[in-house]
Amino acid sequence: MADDTLLDRMEKQAWFHRYPRGWPLLLFVIASIGTAVSVMAIERSDQQRREVELDRNLTEISSAMQRRVTENIALLRAASALFATQQDVTQAQIAEFSSDLQSSGNLYGSLGVGWAPLLRRENAITFQNAKRASGTPDFRIWPDPSSVKAGNSPVPKFVTPIIYLEPSALSNGKAIGFDMYSEPVRRRAMELAMRTGKPVTSGRVFLAQEQNRQVPGFLIYMPVIDARRRDTVKGFVYSPFRADDFVESAAELFRNEEIEVSIFDGAVTPQNLLAQRKASGSSGAAMERKIDVGSHEWIIRVSDKKTGALSAMARITLFFGVITSLMVMAIGRLITRRAVEDRRVLEWLSRQAAIRNSLTRELNHRVKNTLANVLSIAALTRRRSTDIDDFTDSLTARIRALSATHDLLSQTDWSNAPLGDIVRSELAPYMEGNEPHVVMSGPEIKLAPNDAMSLGLAIHELATNAAKYGALSTNAGRIHVHWSMIDPDHAELHWREEGGPPVAVPNKRGFGRDLIEKIVAHELRSDVNLQFLPQGVECRLKVPVRVTKEFSLRRGEQDR
């Protein structure tokens, strides 16, 4: 019971041994979840950081755009103040002004500085003829003011043909004579400039000098007020811009190459896209902001660009997290395997201890039984002995009989003893040279240890009596020993003597008779039929045949 309790306690304490592969996998899953949570936290933190950085970049980009527009407006204001005091604006004045301030015509993203007088429509042809007569015979206003059709809208009252546009590069020269007032987007910007007297930025247009390609652009108009007549607008000094060039000029003020910048005129639609500065990488977070550029609204949209699905720190964390998870799983596997091996050793030691304890109890029980038999034999032998020598000889012989049966049982680990071997071992001292005097026959029958010892004592007493008084005391005597199974649970041994001295029934009961009829019969739990016939002693013994079972712990150890 104590051993079973120990095993049960070990089973409860080491319940995780039932799943030797599950625990390392569980550790791997836990470590992987920790890695995933860490990567998610890093990515969230990185996203927040990038959003803050994106907002800062959006502010920086918006400021750069407004700064470039403000710088160009400042130039146009200077030109407007200069030309307001002049009776006529000449090409030499425009060229000198542009040369001093804009050099090659790409200052602050502008294509140059131009002059367009404000003329009433009915005076447009007269002005055109006058320009031709003054030395520019190819000058013409286009589209032809006399052919303008406004549909349901009223015909514009004014025309603003481009007279000068410096620097006078080939592309700028293509715009000379273009009536900007004829185009609705430009016209709205000029009308607003006239009403407010301030510089105004136009909406998205295609520049007149970009006739061969449709490149989005815009213009900034500054009205020139006649200094002598404060309520009269003489015309407009303006600057045309390619939107892409303007964005690149503003990009000089910010250097974040991972930011994609898009500028929309009024609304975020593909039709209103002014310019776009792309960046490599996958799209990330995006932000928009409205800015005012010369009384006109732009929407700046910036997009964060990432070079990978995860940030560098997240990739490092994921890499080392996976390695750590695999190491944890491997270590867990080693620990679990070692624990399983230790458990097997402990179980084996526990079983060995249980076997030793059980064997000790079994040995103790058998020794006590043997000593009890020896004491009984000694007591009975003392009562029937005539002197000390007789007592010593009888007791020694009987103890040797017990020892012989013990030897047989020891050869089979006290599991069983063959009935024939018991008979042979007890008759062996009387068969040396006299084998024909003993006839034995019978099938192989195995007896339990206690039954074998009792039968051995009975055979010893019968043989001793036969040697002293019966068939073994003469040369003509014979002993017939036969055994057989009489039913599945019992065997019968038949002892018969013949050829010896005539036998008479003893006047008094001897020790051998008492041992056979009382002790052996009691141990075998069966009657003993002992007869003293004239021709010889005859005895019939019924012996139980019990199915012997190996000691359970020992059998389990042998199975392993």
Asked if pLDDT for residue 552 goes beyond 50, the answer is no
Compute the distance between CA of residue 468 and CA of residue 438 in angstroms, rounded to an integer. 16
| pTM reported for the whole predicted model | 0.57
Compute the distance between CA of residue 36 and CA of residue 314 in angstroms, rounded to an integer. 10
Asked if pLDDT for residue 105 goes beyond 70, the answer is no
Q: Say what the pLDDT of residue 516 is.
A: 78
Asked if pLDDT for residue 10 goes beyond 70, the answer is no
Asked if pLDDT for residue 539 goes beyond 80, the answer is yes
Asked if pLDDT for residue 3 goes beyond 70, the answer is no
- What's the CA dihedral at 390, 392, 398, 402 to 10 degrees? 180
DSSP string computed for 292-358: ESSS-EEEEEEEEEESSSS-HHHHHHHHHHHHHHHHHHHHHHHHHHHHHHHHHHHHHHHHHHHHHHH
The pLDDT of 356-367, averaged and rounded, is 68
Compute the distance between CA of residue 183 and CA of residue 176 in angstroms, rounded to an integer. 15
Q: Say what the pLDDT of residue 551 is.
A: 45
Q: What percent of the chain shows pLDDT beyond 70? A: 82
Q: Say what the pLDDT of residue 357 is.
A: 80
Are residues 158 and 181 in contact, defined by beta-carbon separation less than 8 angstroms? yes
CA 520 to chain centre: 74
3-state SS of 459-488 is: HHHHHHHHHHCCHHHCCCCEEEEEEEEEEC
Compute the distance between CA of residue 474 and CA of residue 503 in angstroms, rounded to an integer. 13
Compute the distance between CA of residue 88 and CA of residue 117 in angstroms, rounded to an integer. 10
The pLDDT of 225-251, averaged and rounded, is 88
Compute the distance between CA of residue 455 and CA of residue 423 in angstroms, rounded to an integer. 9
Are residues 122 and 146 in contact, defined by beta-carbon separation less than 8 angstroms? no
Greatest extent of the chain over all pairs of C-alpha atoms, in Å: 184
How does residue 332 score in pLDDT terms, banded at 50, 70 and 90?
confident
Q: Buried b vs exposed e over 204-243: b needs ≥16 C-beta within 10 Å?
A: bbebbbbeeeeebbbbbbbbbbbeeeeeebbbbbbbbbbb
Query: How are beta strands 158-159 and 446-447 bridged, if at all?
Result: unpaired
Sign, Cα dihedral of 336, 341, 342, 348: positive
Q: Say what the pLDDT of residue 18 is.
A: 67
How does residue 377 score in pLDDT terms, banded at 50, 70 and 90?
low
How does residue 223 score in pLDDT terms, banded at 50, 70 and 90?
very high
pLDDT tens-digit map of 264-311: 998 999 999 999 988 877 777 889 999 999 999 999 999 887 766 777
How does residue 148 score in pLDDT terms, banded at 50, 70 and 90?
low
- Residue 37's CB: how many other CB atoms inside 10 A? 11
Listed range (229-243, 347-361, 458-472, 488-502) with the worst mean pLDDT: 347-361
pLDDT tens-digit map of 429-461: 776 555 678 889 999 998 888 888 888 888 888
Cβ-based burial of 142 (10 A; exposed 0-12, middle 13-18, buried ≥19): middle
How does residue 184 score in pLDDT terms, banded at 50, 70 and 90?
very high
Which long-range contacts (C-beta less than 8 Å, at least 24 apart) are formed by 277-280?
A: 277/244, 277/247, 277/248, 277/251, 279/303, 279/305, 280/305, 280/307
From the list 178, 154, 152, the residue with the least C-alpha distance to 165 is 178
How does residue 522 score in pLDDT terms, banded at 50, 70 and 90?
confident
Are residues 138 and 176 in contact, defined by beta-carbon separation less than 8 angstroms? no
Q: Say what the pLDDT of residue 1 is.
A: 47
How does residue 505 score in pLDDT terms, banded at 50, 70 and 90?
confident
